[in-house]
């Protein structure tokens, strides 16, 4: 359940009509429901309340600092994958000892930033990274808290672009190789080995892949313990999917029960990194119909949002439900492609979609757009990025203003030989 519902044939976010936001802010815009965000955090965290567990929200899913501030205020930590995300979390008031840093390609300056801020853990993903972290810690005269991310070679049964737990993926270290790195890290005076980490992929809609991965990790933990290596926490990553169309992912309470049953008896703090399941269905993208176009082959609905605003359909061929903001009394429908203004054939929000007949000026809501929507947007075709809105009951706030044309060239300069200034 989310807080986007029709009232008197108009689509509302909580108690605010989307038509009102559009009239004041313009289109396109992302709109997030605070009530939905709050409920999702509570649904995920409640089943783990009786164990030593930390929910580290995956910032990459939606990194707006107002959204972060809300989630952090609800007790979340943060899973980051860049120095920029660390900067955002700190600006939003995040607790340093609730931050874990993932990712295969951390730069020296990012590692140094994280160590100086004394975050909970750097999740190391290669032997060379382990050596680099050790060298930087030595230079800073500190001990670097690290976890080692293992790759359990588990098929998450999701889109190949968001699968991360197979040996063919770039993430983590194969289990057999990881044991040697654990031993190396445990003996390094510059490192503080605090955990083991695993993440198999995103938009996973079955429990079995999670449990298969946990069994492999559990066996690794037992082997490490038998060899005298002690760790403090197990980071099981995120990846729990949501409903976009006809998916039926496990409810967070069922996920929690299965995880806790599997890990019973392990005396470790549990870290989780949910992202999509928290923000995905808490946000939508509102766009306006510009034109309708008929050819001998297709019916097109051309809108003012494009692939630069929401790339998931074009990148993953992902399904996003699209509905008119105003319900129509007519039963007339058409099979259409919903497309944007960008000069790419791949610029579409939906293909061969049966939809109510719409006209120029009508507003459409692209549902389930709170995760990997704005955070993956760009300025392709020199299109200013859209506004972001947070709704709380009967009020709303612009939490990111729409970019202006001048913002497009911010930081750019003419080369001096072209008549520009140095």
SS (HEC) of 281-346 = HHEEEEEEEEEEEECCCCEEEEECCCCCCCCHHHHHCCCCCEEECECCCCCCEEEEEEECCCCCCC
Whether the Cβ atoms of residue 270 and residue 236 lie closer than 8 Å to each other: yes
**Per-residue pLDDT tens digits for 78-122:** 999 999 999 999 999 999 999 999 999 999 999 999 999 999 999
Report the distance separating Cα 328 and Cα 10, nearest Å. Answer: 10
**Per-residue pLDDT tens digits for 195-240:** 999 877 768 778 888 888 888 888 889 999 999 999 999 998 888 8
Name the band, by pLDDT with cuts 50, 70 and 90, for residue 1.
low
User: Average pLDDT for residues 164-172, to the nearest whole number?
Assistant: 50
Report the distance separating Cα 6 and Cα 14, nearest Å. Answer: 10
**CATH superfamily of domain region 4-31+280-409:** Lyase, Ornithine Decarboxylase; Chain A, domain 1 (2.40.37.10)
User: Is 343 designated active site?
Assistant: yes
Cα-based distances in Å from 100 to 110, 121, 198, 235:
13, 5, 12, 9
Cα-based distances in Å from 6 to 220, 365, 383:
51, 12, 31
At 172 the pLDDT is 67
* Domain ranges in the chain with CATH number 2.40.37.10: 4-31+280-409
On the question of pLDDT at 170 being above 70, the answer is: no
At 247 the pLDDT is 84
Whether the Cβ atoms of residue 406 and residue 384 lie closer than 8 Å to each other: no
Name the band, by pLDDT with cuts 50, 70 and 90, for residue 330.
confident
- Give 119 or 249, the one with higher predicted confidence: 119
* Domain ranges in the chain with CATH number 3.20.20.10: 103-272
| Domain covering 103-272 in this structure, CATH number | 3.20.20.10
- Structure tokens belonging to residue 286: 């509102």
Name the band, by pLDDT with cuts 50, 70 and 90, for residue 328.
confident
Please name the residue that has the structure tokens 């936001």: 21
Which of 31, 56, 76, 343 does the annotation list as catalytic?
A: 343
Is the bond leading into 24 cis (omega within 30 degrees of zero)?
A: no
**Per-residue pLDDT tens digits for 55-77:** 999 999 999 999 999 999 999 99
261: part of which helix (H) or strand (E)?
helix 252-262
**Per-residue pLDDT tens digits for 174-190:** 888 889 999 999 999 99
- Give 267 or 283, the one with higher predicted confidence: 283
């Amino acid at each position: 359940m989310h807080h986007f519902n029709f009232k008197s044939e108009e689509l509302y976010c909580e108690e605010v009509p989307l038509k009102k936001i559009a009239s004041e802010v313009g289109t396109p815009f992302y709109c997030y429901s605070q009530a939905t965000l709050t409920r999702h955090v509570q649904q995920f965290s409640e089943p783990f309340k009786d164990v030593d567990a930390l929910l580290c929200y995956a910032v990459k899913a939606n990194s707006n600092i107002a959204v972060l501030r809300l989630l952090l205020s609800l007790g979340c930590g943060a899973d980051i994958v860049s120095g920029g995300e660390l900067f955002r979390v700190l600006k939003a008031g995040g607790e340093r000892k609730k931050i874990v840093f993932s990712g295969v390609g951390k730069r020296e300056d990012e590692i140094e930033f994280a160590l100086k801020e004394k975050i909970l853990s750097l999740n190391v993903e290669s032997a060379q990274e382990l050596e680099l972290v050790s060298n930087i810690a030595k230079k800073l005269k500190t001990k670097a808290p690290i976890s080692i991310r293992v790759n359990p070679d588990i098929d998450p049964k999701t889109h190949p672009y968001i699968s991360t737990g197979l040996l063919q993926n770039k993430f983590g270290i194969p289990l057999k190789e990881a044991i040697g790195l654990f031993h190396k890290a445990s003996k390094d005076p510059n490192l503080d080995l605090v955990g083991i980490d695993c993440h198999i992929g995103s938009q996973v809609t079955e429990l079995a892949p999670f449990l298969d991965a946990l069994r492999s990790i559990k066996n690794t933990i037992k082997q490490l313990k038998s060899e005298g290596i002690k760790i403090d926490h197990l980071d099981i990553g995120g990846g729990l999917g949501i409903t976009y169309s006809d998916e039926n992912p496990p409810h967070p309470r069922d996920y929690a029960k299965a995880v806790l049953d599997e890990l019973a008896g392990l005396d470790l703090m549990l870290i989780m990194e949910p992202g999509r399941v928290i923000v995905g269905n808490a946000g939508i993208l509102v766009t306006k119909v510009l034109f309708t176009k008929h050819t001998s082959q297709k019916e097109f609905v051309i809108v003012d949002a494009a692939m630069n605003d929401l790339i998931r359909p074009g990148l993953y061929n992902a399904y996003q439900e699209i509905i008119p903001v105003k319900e129509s009394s007519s039963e007339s429908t058409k099979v259409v492609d919903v497309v944007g203004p960008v000069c790419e054939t791949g610029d579409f929000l939906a293909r061969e979609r049966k939809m109510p007949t719409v006209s120029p000026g009508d507003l459409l809501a692209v549902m389930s757009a709170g995760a990997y929507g704005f955070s993956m947007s760009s300025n392709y075709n020199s299109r200013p990025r859209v506004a972001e809105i947070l709704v709380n009951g009967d009020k709303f706030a612009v939490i990111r203003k729409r970019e202006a044309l001048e913002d497009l060239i911010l930081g750019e300069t003419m080369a001096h030989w072209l008549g520009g200034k140095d």
